[in-house]
Amino acid sequence: MTTVDLPALKRRNPLGDVVEASGVQLRGQGRVRQGVCPFHEETEGSFTVYADSERWFCFGCGEGGDVLDFVRRVENLDLPEAIRRLNGGVGKGVPGVAVLRPVAVSPPRRTASPPTDPALLNAAARFYAGRLRRSPGAQAYLRSRGIRPETAARLGLGYAPGGGLRAHLAAIGFPRDRLRSSGLFTEHGERFAGMVVVPDLIAGGRVRWLAGRAVEPERSPRFQTLPGPKPVLGTGRLGAAPPWAVLAEGLFDWLALAQWGVPACAALGTQGAERIAAALRGCSRVFLAFDADDAGQAASERFVELLGRRAAVVNLHREAADVAELATCPHGYATFRRLLVQAARTAA
């Protein structure tokens, strides 16, 4: 039996080179590169390659892994076949990099996106909310992030323990085909298992979308959403023409702002700027409160370009890494209000 040195095999086959050899075009040259996912229908570029960890993850379909996982998925191979494939090819001028059969990413591969099913999503959100009330661990996690119980109740937050949802939905009358197309379940089980679940609401309190954040730090992926087109989290609560709103980056940034009563929405990343700007076209003033890192600052600059005079940048870098960090500080809201006022004066 031949023994394969898997770490050496992976070093000879850098993930980014293998992904591009398959036909996926990656943007950027730094630690994080992104492109259109070859495994589900999308146009925004949710497929992300991390050079430091040599891992990939798609924020659209929730799939991820290392270079072997990518080869297995894109070529429909088992693990031994994927190892043999990586062990034997040469591609793109890089010695040892396997040449994969190109995948169709332009236009994107067409797979069915889950239909909007507010009744089913409402029922799922109620189930998760009930499980949050019974989960001391999930409640403790929210408190550690600065989110109070009354905020969790007001925003309809929930917790997915990883079991019971399918049986519950079936018991209250949802047929199997609606469960199958809902996006709530994957081949591995419940999509949001082990996560705090955040519903995105529209008029009348109906749930149009769900996002989740893992409670345990070692869980991967840390963040999940329903597959398919993504709304801009929070815009359903703003109304058609809000006088002003804050655009933040992450899920817990938005939860902090909502807890403070600040009209806000979340980009949930730094991609899809044009789509997000279009969703805020009726807002007279947009305060940009992105993370105080290079990616966040680059996103702020992009939104200033798109929004023009309507944009105002909230400068967080001297106070916190992001809005979510302020939520854990004793005077976090007062600090954010001060930064918001400064941003308004600068933009006036």
Please state, rounded to an integer, the average pLDDT across all residues of the chain. 85
- Which has more pLDDT, 124 or 46? 124
Other CB atoms closer than 10 Å to residue 52's CB: what's the count? 8
What is the band of 203 on the pLDDT scale with cuts at 50, 70, 90? low
Is residue 134 pLDDT above 80, yes or no? yes
Mean pLDDT across 285-305? 91
Of the listed ranges 75-79, 173-177, 207-211, the one predicted with least confidence = 75-79
E strand intervals along the chain:
32-35, 47-50, 55-58, 64-65, 158-160, 185-186, 189-190, 195-202, 206-214, 223-225, 244-248, 264-266, 285-289, 311-313
Angle at 117 between CA 111 and CA 119, to 5 degrees: 160
Class of residue 342 by CB neighbours under 10 A (exposed 0-12, middle 13-18, buried 19+): middle
Is residue 204 pLDDT above 80, yes or no? no
For 97-133, write each residue's pLDDT tens digit: 444 555 444 343 433 444 468 899 999 999 999 999 9
DSSP-derived pairing of the beta strands 206-214 and 185-186: unpaired
Which segment, 22-31, 221-230, 306-315, is predicted with the most confidence on average? Answer: 306-315
Is residue 316 pLDDT above 50, yes or no? yes
The confidence score (pLDDT) of residue 327 equals 95
Of the listed ranges 19-28, 84-93, 122-131, 218-227, the one predicted with least confidence = 84-93
- Kindly compute the dihedral angle of the four CA atoms of residues 76, 229, 17, 78, in this order, to the nearest 10 degrees: -20
For 210-256, write each residue's pLDDT tens digit: 999 999 988 888 899 988 777 889 998 887 788 999 999 999 999 99
The confidence score (pLDDT) of residue 214 equals 95
The confidence score (pLDDT) of residue 62 equals 66
Mean pLDDT across 147-169? 96
Mean pLDDT across 179-208? 89
The confidence score (pLDDT) of residue 211 equals 94
